[in-house]
Amino acid sequence: MAGEISGDYGPEGVFLIGILKGAFMFLADLARSITIPVRFDFMACSSYGSSRKTSGIVRILKDLDTDIRGKDVLVVEDIIDTGLTLSYLLKNLKAREPASLEICSLLNKKRVEGKVDLPIKYEGFSIPDVFVVGYGLDYDEQFRNLPYIAKLKK
């Protein structure tokens, strides 16, 4: 994936926006593997609370510190579930007038009821509609530190 990203963007590089908290491990590994200049910033938002299901209400908890106007921006996500949160963020980011705006996600749940169709340019793995933890992904702030991704048992 990093090779594809490196080839798709020019010598000016790419501006990565990591969606906290879940994407931090994936973003770090991805950024180290990209061979063109990389700059990055982070956003944090919430639509889950302490539940396994999204509430449908998106709140931005941390906004960007950097102006993205005119930059080639790649939003880096850990997982796309319903896509509602990311859809909200994309509208928010498009209003800031980046030169380009693309999506990169480590995981993408394919068969989720009510899923928003998003143009994912870089997708690591397609997974079924199960709750997963590890490698930055959590359940109620637990299990992020696992060095692997696992299905959470009920």
List residues with catalytic annotation. Answer: 81
Tell me: cis bond preceding 21? Omega within 30 of 0 counts: yes
Residue with tokens 């079924």: 128
SS3 category, 105: strand
Tokens of 39: 């700059």
Number of Cβ within 10 Å of residue 95's Cβ equals 8
